[in-house]
């Protein structure tokens, strides 16, 4: 762990379990409440007692050092993601390679962002400044991505941070903590990393009055609890929560490309992606054709050891999560869904695996259509026309992601504008780091990525001048 500039141990450790082998691959420090208290105190002192928040050039220098260290150790980060998360090595480009330019961008932004600008009509100054102490509560599914889109933007904006990694994936965060301690000039207390097997320490962090802001990624159910915990001290919140995103294929859309997009997402991270396009909405005229395409693609997915470059789908994160997915598939069967592909576990000797699963004839109001599965499960739903596609897409408590496919760009845009979701792509367009990522409805609060993600970690002050 990293607390107040020092790499420290706790009184005990907890096991890091490989989702691929079901074996212990190592250990992480199991922090106590006293450890968390020390980390919060260090972050508070560093924010209140140093010029970290105001010395923009120094922050750029430190974050450039960190970015360089991360780039030099990218292969080790890749190995960690494969080992503790079970992501296929061929998919680590998303969690590692595409993130490296963002680190450099944030380092530059730390110095070049316009923190002060004139108010209209010469009335004074509009100033943007750091929020204070940020609690970064990380989930387990995205590896290094969450550091890039939570911790580094918070630091670039001048905040100090206490990072609480998910207990399922502690090593990525502790590895970066070591780089901070050994390879950068980041002052003591600016970054603190506290690993723990107990959710009680996350509660301690989000409730502590010395913490000014909480940035959390995880399920909507846990997000609601985080909101309640932060409410006592009215903390600023950024919540990136669940999704049940719709992939809408219009009758003139590229069906093969659309289906390939959904199947690709269902296997790259074993479906453990909040923005996965898990509902495939097909026109009735092409419904069976789309099901056949998806079934063929899913049957071709190579499931196995994530360290093998031939593998396209690795394991789920834990036995409990695997069993939850299988339970939802069983519920879908009971509620009338037709299992076209999968529905169980693959023929592997060990590991927390679930088969690629394709469910057809899914009722839009059924449990499987309304619940975030967070696994390799795709629901196919027939729709009559564009209007019904929009209604079905919006029939969800979530609103995180989406996609529309049509040969008519304006028609696709018309549908995209009507879908209540924070991000949506037309014909497979990629926007990613240059656009805001976040949700409508119960998919979250605030935005990550791009300039918007950086600005979430800033307060706004109006200074009147006469």
Active site residues: 240
Here the contacts of 327-331 (C-beta below 8 Å, separation 24 or greater) are 328/367, 328/368, 328/371, 328/373, 328/375, 328/377, 329/357, 329/359, 329/368, 329/377, 331/367, 331/368
Residues 313-325: b if buried by 16+ CB within 10 A, e if exposed: bbbbbbeebbebb
Give the relative orientation of helices 56-72 and 100-112 as an angle to the nearest 10 degrees.
170
Q: What is the C-alpha R_g of the chain?
A: 23
Give the Cβ contact number of residue 436 at 10 Å.
Answer: 17
SS3 content of the chain, % helix, strand, coil (to 5): 40, 20, 40
Instruction: List the one residue out of 360, 126, 404 whose CA is nearest residue 247.
Output: 404
The 3-state DSSP class for residue 132 equals: coil
Instruction: List the one residue out of 375, 115, 373 whose CA is nearest residue 268.
Output: 375
Residue 361 in contact with residue 259, Cβ under 8 Å?
no
């Amino acid at each position: 762990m990293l607390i107040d500039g020092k790499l420290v141990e706790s009184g005990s450790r907890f096991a890091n379990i490989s989702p691929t082998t079901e074996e212990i691959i190592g250990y992480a420090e199991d922090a106590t409440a006293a450890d968390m208290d020390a980390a919060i105190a260090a972050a508070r002192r560093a924010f209140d007692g140093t010029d970290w928040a105001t010395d923009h050039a120094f922050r750029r220098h430190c974050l450039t050092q960190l970015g360089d260290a991360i780039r030099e150790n990218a292969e080790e980060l890749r190995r960690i993601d494969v080992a503790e998360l079970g992501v296929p090595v061929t998919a680590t480009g998303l969690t590692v390679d595409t993130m490296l330019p963002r680190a450099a961008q944030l380092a530059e932004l730390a110095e070049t962002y316009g923190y002060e600008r004139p108010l209209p009509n010469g009335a004074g100054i509009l100033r943007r400044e750091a929020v204070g102490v940020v609690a970064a509560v990380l989930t387990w599914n995205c590896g290094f991505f969450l550091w890039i889109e939570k911790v580094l933007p918070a630091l670039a904006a001048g905040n100090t941070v206490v990072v609480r990694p998910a207990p399922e994936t502690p090593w990525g965060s502790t590895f970066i903590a070591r780089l901070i301690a050994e390879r950068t000039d980041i002052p003591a207390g600016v970054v603190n990393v506290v690993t723990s097997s107990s959710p009680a320490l996350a509660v301690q962090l989000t409730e502590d009055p010395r913490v000014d802001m909480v940035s959390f990624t995880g399920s909507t159910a846990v997000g609601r609890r985080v909101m309640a915990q932060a409410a006592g001290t009215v903390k600023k919140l950024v919540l990136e929560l669940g999704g049940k995103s719709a992939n809408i294929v219009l009758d003139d859309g590229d069906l093969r490309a659309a289906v390939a997009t959904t199947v690709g997402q269902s296997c790259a991270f074993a479906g453990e992606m909040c923005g996965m396009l898990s509902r495939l909405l097909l026109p009735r005229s092409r419904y069976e054709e789309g099901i056949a395409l998806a079934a063929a693609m899913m049957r071709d997915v190579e499931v196995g050891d994530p360290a093998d470059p031939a593998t396209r789908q690795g394991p789920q994160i834990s036995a409990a999560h695997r069993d939850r997915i299988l339970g939802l598939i069983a519920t879908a069967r009971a509620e009338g869904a037709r299992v076209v592909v999968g529905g169980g576990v693959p023929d592997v000797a060990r590991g927390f695996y679930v088969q690629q699963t394709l469910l057809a004839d899914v009722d839009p109001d059924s449990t499987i259509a309304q619940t975030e599965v967070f696994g390799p499960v795709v629901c196919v739903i027939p729709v009559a026309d564009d209007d019904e596609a929009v209604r079905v897409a919006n029939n969800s408590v979530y609103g995180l992601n989406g996609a529309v496919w049509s040969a008519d760009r304006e028609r696709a845009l018309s549908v995209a504008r009507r879908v209540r979701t924070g991000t949506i792509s037309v014909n497979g367009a990629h926007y990613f780091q240059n656009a805001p990522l976040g949700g409508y409805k119960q998919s979250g609060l605030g935005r990550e990525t791009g300039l918007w993600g950086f600005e979430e970690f800033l307060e706004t002050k109006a200074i009147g001048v006469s």
